Chain A
Amino acid sequence: DVVMTQSPLSLPVTLGQPASISCRSSQSLVHSDGKIHLSWFQQRPGQSPRRLIYKVSNRDSGVPDRFSGSGSGTDFTLKISRVEAEDVGVYYCMQGTHWPWTFGQGTKVEIK
């Protein structure tokens, strides 16, 4: 199985400051269709997960542009340009290239 490793697992941030979460896969996520199926999800306290980013860098409709995704091969990053209070929660990366699909352990973002 593909292991998805996120770091850090806990991320205290100051409001208005940037934040960055790393996600590394144990093997390349390039699919036979040529695409990289790496997504990012946000789970706010008490809520269901919500997709933010798909195929590495495509932001979902309604997701603020302070969220951005990047990466290639086995290294991926989710960046928040300026953290707001509503960004508190747990963030997960997920690969959909190889069966079984797998998630990272999650990164908890909290306000300092």
Chain B
Amino acid sequence: QVQVVESGGGVVQPGGSLRVSCAASGFSFNTHGIHWVRQAPGKGLEWVAFTRYDGTDEHYADSVKGRFTISRDKSQDTLCLQMNSLRAEDTAVYYCAKDERGTVAGWGQGTLVTVSS
């Protein structure tokens, strides 16, 4: 069964940095890409970022471009979303999900990132 588990959320001050991670079971990051999607409190879903399984293709939403970066921790087989220059509007539950060529599947439970002073 395809599953992902997000971790690393927390409270960070505006302008600060945080890294959230995504671990997979039932599939490998060596063969499938990953998307990050976020949901601000009480709001809808917003697609954030994508990385291809081999790292040769990446895409980011304009709202995070230049501030967020996807990286891979091969030793732990996890994918991370490095978030810099965080703003209050980045406060959200961050989900990772498996790429399935034009769609996503296997959402995790999400990890909450709160940007507040």
Interface of A toward B, CB cutoff 8 Å: 1, 31, 35, 37, 39, 41, 43, 48-51, 54-55, 60, 90, 92, 94, 96-97, 99-106
Contacts and interface: CB of A to CB of B under 8 A. Distances in A.
A27 to B, nearest CB: 15
B62 A31 contact: no
B103 A51 contact: yes
Interface residues of B, number: 22
Interface string B66-100: 00000000000000000000000000000100001
Given A41-B45, A92-B45, A100-B59, A35 B102 contact: yes
B104 interface: yes
Contacts of B47: 94, 100-103
Contacts of A100: 47, 59-62
